[in-house]
């Protein structure tokens, strides 16, 4: 299989601060990465599609100025939660398809980052 890592695995921050979450594909290159948000015992909500070398594509209702995504290289995408508030507390998960052909390959998921905003 392929390995996707996330850092940090958990973070606690004060309201109003910004938090950066990294997603790395460790043994393959990912031109596309996906960022999800998951509330307790609920499904994954796709927030945005991160594209290497271009702007991210955000899902409807997701504030692009609040959730900044940067896909700086073929192995790294970052999600920055700006001016975080308690309602941003959640489990954030990234994923990446392994092949350049994304049409039918499974996605590989990171272990997730638990964000708690006080």
Partner 1 sequence: AQSVAQPEDQVNVAEGNPLTVKCTYSVSGNPYLFWYVQYPNRGLQFLLKYITGDNLVKGSYGFEAEFNKSQTSFHLKKPSALVSDSALYFCAVRDMTSNTGKLIFGQGTTLQVKP
Q: Which of 58, 40, 46 is nearest to 93 (CA)?
A: 46
Contact 71, 52 (CB under 8 A): yes
Which of 106, 115, 116, 118 contacts partner 1 by CB under 8 A? 106
Shortest separation between residue 5's beta carbon and partner 1, angstroms: 10
Q: Which is nearer to partner 1, 24 or 82 (CB)?
A: 24
The two structure tokens encoding residue 104:
């039918």
> What are the DSSP calls for 16-60, one per residue?
T--EEEEEEESSS--SEEEEEEE-TTS-EEEEEEEETTS--EEPT
Shortest separation between residue 16's beta carbon and partner 1, angstroms: 26
Which of 13, 68, 91, 116 contacts partner 1 by CB under 8 A? 91
State the residue for tokens 């950066």: 20
- Stretch binding partner 1 (CB under 8 A), from 13-21, 40-48, 66-74, 81-89: 40-48
Please give the residue ranges that form the binding site for partner 1 (CB under 8 A). 1, 4, 6, 32, 34, 41-44, 46, 49, 51, 57, 91, 93, 95, 97, 102-112, 114
């Amino acid at each position: 299989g392929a390995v996707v890592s996330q850092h940090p695995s958990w973070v606690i921050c004060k309201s109003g601060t910004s938090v950066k979450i990294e997603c790395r594909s460790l043994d393959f290159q990912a031109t596309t990465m996906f960022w999800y948000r998951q509330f307790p015992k609920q499904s994954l909500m796709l927030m945005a599609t991160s594209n290497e070398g271009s702007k991210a594509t955000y899902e409807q209702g997701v504030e692009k100025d609040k959730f900044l995504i940067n896909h700086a290289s073929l192995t790294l995408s970052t999600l920055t939660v700006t001016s975080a508030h308690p309602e941003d507390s959640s489990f954030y998960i990234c994923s990446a398809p392994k092949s350049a052909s994304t049409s039918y390959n499974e996605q590989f998921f990171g272990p997730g980052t638990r964000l708690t905003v006080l």
